[in-house]
Amino acid sequence: MDIVLHLLLQSRTRIVLGVLTGILGGLGNAVLIGWINTELHTSTLNVDYAPILYGGFGLLVLATHMISVLIVMRVSLAVTRDLRMELSRRIIDAPLRLLQQLGTARLLANLTEDIGFLVEAFQEIPHLFIHVSWLVGCLAYLCWLSWDLFVVVVVLILIGVISYRLIASKAMIPLRHARELDDTLYAHFRGLIYGIKEIKLNQKRKDAFLNELLFPTAEACRQSNMTAMTLFIVATTVGTATLYFLIGLILFGTSRWEGVTEQIITGYTLTILYMMAPLTAVIAALPVLGRANVALGKIDRLKTELSEQMDTYRVNQNRQLPIDPGKLELVEVTHRYRREGESHDFELGPLNLVFYPGELVFIVGGNGSGKSTLGLLLVGLYPPESGQIRLNHKIITAENRDFYRQHFSTVFSDFYLFENLLGLAAELQDDKIRAYLEQLRLDHKVSVSKGVFSTLELSQGQRKRLALLIAFLEDRPFYVFDEWAADQDPVFKALFYTTLLNDLKARGKTVVVITHDDRYFHLADRCIRLENGKVSDIDSMHPLDASSAPIPVASTNELTAKANIAESKLRMPDSL
């Protein structure tokens, strides 16, 4: 099967060693059966050495079983780990647009459920090898007892196996369908977790989610799995019935056969009964292997899709190069994509823009104008479909794009917070972290110990401030903030625009802010306005009217004091 071949390709030597050890153990079981049958029909027992030999041989069989299981189990767990790491690396190396098209639900299903099926199958494989060799040894013993009767046994077993395969093969169709439905279920579960507040607040929405989305998908998945499992059970019953029929034939139909003695009948009956345990185990493992083959197919398809568009760069090639500030240019850059709910592509560009060190630039415009897409182009997460991006006159290509990305610190509108300072903890001093926590009024909520945050259970505004802290700690030449201030109260919004951005600018950073806060447009060196994917205007000094007079730049201490007062007012009494 595919799952076995996958293991062989990963570690041929150890798997072959485990298989051979398992076969030795299985054949040893058959020898023990023959020995027991011989001793049952021997008039005098050799009490001098027979018990010692029997005990020693039994220990040898048990040892080979254990060694086989341990060898194959060790390989299978290593293969599972490597497969998880390979998928994770491919996902990291894949273009962001492709990952967005594949969807979170499918990627999570591959990384969790499909890998889980493989782990379950890998655990069955060493036992499967032992049981199959056990069956082969028993058949060899039956052949030695009586060739004529062995032919009858083999014919009946082949009939049972063929019947099983015909039925079991039909089970793979609903099994594959159930796996496809799992992707949809994962999408619904994601909606359940992330949309729980909206679901709780609207009874009609809750009923529609449960009855029109979740239940129909779950029920269809149940029906497909039930159909598959029913077919497997029927196939198993047919196989077991074949063995019972075979035992009945030997007991009641062969007594008058010429050359078939009582010892042969007893040996055949005892051996076939002994074969039922490993045969039942093999049959029970087949549905598990079937699910694993379906999962392996899904994983292979994902690997193929990720590989076809995988970024060709490697950060290691440029790891020793310095990350310096510089002049960033977009020359005739365009990017095209299909927006949700629209039948035609949206095109951003052509864009011709230049960004300088120590410059504060606002990207403004209406919703859907392409601001966030421009931000993703700037940081290198979207490659331009045409045109060039240049850093210090060097053209950014697939080979150096990952190195280019290392120049940026960002806080996206859909940012994600890790629970620790990945890649930063070893380089930072605690007093620097505490200073940022105090400035952002997070020191009473969060602490950092050994690079790990004490909590992430914060409000959205506080989480954004923590994401901003991480961006500051990265200390990159370029900063891109996408609607950072959208979840902040007026005091922290003022702190961000009038103090924090100015601090970055004073340190020679190139700061790009995607924003709707027209009250602060006058603070930017330039405002680049987008409309329908095109640059409609670039203001080097935004005109102000009476209603939007310049806001005085307060000191950090003044804003911190106001922030402290604002937060204390917002806190609710414990009695509420």
Three-state SS string over 95-137 comes to CHHHHHHHCHHHHHHHHHHHHHHHHHHHHHHHHHHHHHHHHHH
106 pLDDT higher than 80: yes
pLDDT computed for residue 574 by the predictor: 38
Residue 441 CA to its chain's centroid (Å): 35
509 pLDDT higher than 80: yes
Average pLDDT over residues 152-159: 84
Q: Is pLDDT larger for residue 513 or for residue 75?
A: 513
How large a percentage of the chain has pLDDT more than 70?
80
Residue range 31-90, pLDDT digits in tens: 766 666 666 656 555 555 666 666 776 777 777 777 777 777 777 777 778 888 888 888
Average pLDDT, the chain: 79
Average pLDDT over residues 362-386: 91
pLDDT computed for residue 254 by the predictor: 73
25 pLDDT higher than 90: no
513 pLDDT higher than 90: yes
Q: Is pLDDT larger for residue 546 or for residue 284?
A: 284
Residue range 5-19, pLDDT digits in tens: 655 555 666 666 766
Average pLDDT over residues 526-552: 65
Angle formed by the axes of helices 115-145 and 2-10, to 10°? 100
Q: Which of 172-181, 257-266, 497-506 has the lowest mean pLDDT?
A: 257-266
Average pLDDT over residues 413-434: 76
When the candidates are 3.40.50.300, 2.40.128.720, 3.40.190.80, 3.40.462.20, the CATH number that belongs to 324-570 is 3.40.50.300
In the sheet that holds 386-391, the strands lie side by side as 345-355, 328-338, 386-391, 394-395
Most confident of the following: 109-118, 370-379, 411-420, 452-461? 370-379
320 pLDDT higher than 60: no
Reported as a pLDDT band with limits 50, 70 and 90, residue 546 is very low
Domain ranges across the chain: 2-308, 324-570
How large a percentage of the chain has pLDDT more than 90?
19
pLDDT computed for residue 360 by the predictor: 95
How far is Cα 76 from Cα 92, in angstroms, rounded to an integer? 24
What is the third-level CATH fold of 2-308?
ABC transporter transmembrane region fold (1.20.1560)
Residue with tokens 């599972």: 80
Closest CA to 459 of 431, 492, 429, 482: 492
Average pLDDT over residues 173-198: 82
Residue range 221-249, pLDDT digits in tens: 889 989 988 888 888 788 778 877 887 88
Residue 515 CA to its chain's centroid (Å): 33
Question: Residues 219-231, buried b or exposed e (16+ Cβ, 10 A)?
Answer: ebbeebbebbeeb
